[in-house]
Amino acid sequence: MSETPAVGIDIGGSGIKGAPVDLGAGAFAAERVRIPTPQPATPDAVAETVVKVLDQLGVPGAVGLTLPAVVRHGIVETAANIDHEWIGTDAVKLFSNATGRAVGVVNDADAAGLAEMRYGAGKAKTGVVLVATLGTGIGSALFSNGELVPNTELGHLHLHHHGVAEKFAAESVREQHDLSWKDWAERLQKYFEFVEELLWPELIIVGGGVSKKADKFLPRVKLRTEIVPAQLYNDAGIIGAAHFAPRDVL
Between 81 and 211, whose beta carbon lies closer to ligand BGC? 81
Site for ligand BGC in 114-143 (CB under 6 A): 133, 135, 137, 139
Task: Report the first-to-last Cα separation within the chain, whole angstroms.
Answer: 13
Contacts of 135 (CB under 8 A, 6+ apart): 12, 170, 171, 172, 208, 209, 210
Distance in angstroms (rounded) separating the CA atoms of residues 70 and 185: 27
| Contact pick of 8, 53, 99, 108 for ligand BGC (by CB under 6 A) | 108
| Contact pick of 37, 49, 78, 211 for ligand BGC (by CB under 6 A) | 78
Between 43 and 137, whose beta carbon lies closer to ligand BGC? 137
Among left, alpha and beta (phi > 0; psi -120 to 50; other), residue 157 is: beta
| Contact pick of 9, 105, 109, 185 for ligand BGC (by CB under 6 A) | 109
User: CA-CA distances (angstroms) from residue 5 to 35, 57, 89, 241?
Assistant: 21, 12, 28, 12
Helix (H) or strand (E) holding 19: strand 15-22
**Residue 99 binds ligand BGC, judged by CB under 6 A:** no
Between 72 and 182, whose beta carbon lies closer to ligand BGC? 72
Distance in angstroms (rounded) separating the CA atoms of residues 223 and 43: 40
| Contact pick of 5, 26, 68, 122 for ligand BGC (by CB under 6 A) | 68
Is residue 152 within 8 Å of 127, Cβ to Cβ? no
| Contact pick of 153, 174, 203, 204 for ligand BGC (by CB under 6 A) | 153
**Residue 80 binds ligand BGC, judged by CB under 6 A:** yes
**Residue 81 binds ligand BGC, judged by CB under 6 A:** yes
Between 111 and 221, whose beta carbon lies closer to ligand BGC? 111
**Residue 155 binds ligand BGC, judged by CB under 6 A:** yes
Q: Please tell me what DSSP assigns to residue 90.
A: B
Phi, psi (deg, nearest 5) at residue 130: -115, 130
Between 109 and 169, whose beta carbon lies closer to ligand BGC? 109
Site for ligand BGC in 11-50 (CB under 6 A): none
Neighbours of 32 (CB within 10 A): 19
**Residue 107 binds ligand BGC, judged by CB under 6 A:** yes
Between 102 and 106, whose beta carbon lies closer to ligand BGC? 106
Instruction: For the sheet with 138-144, list strands across it.
Output: 147-149, 138-144, 128-134, 203-207, 226-229
Between 137 and 201, whose beta carbon lies closer to ligand BGC? 137
Each residue 162-201 as x (binds ligand BGC by CB under 6 A) or -, in order, gives ----x-----------------------------------
Sign of the alpha-carbon dihedral angle for 42, 209, 217, 70: positive
Binding positions for ligand BGC, rule: CB under 6 A: 68-70, 78, 80-81, 107-109, 133, 135, 137, 139, 153, 155, 166
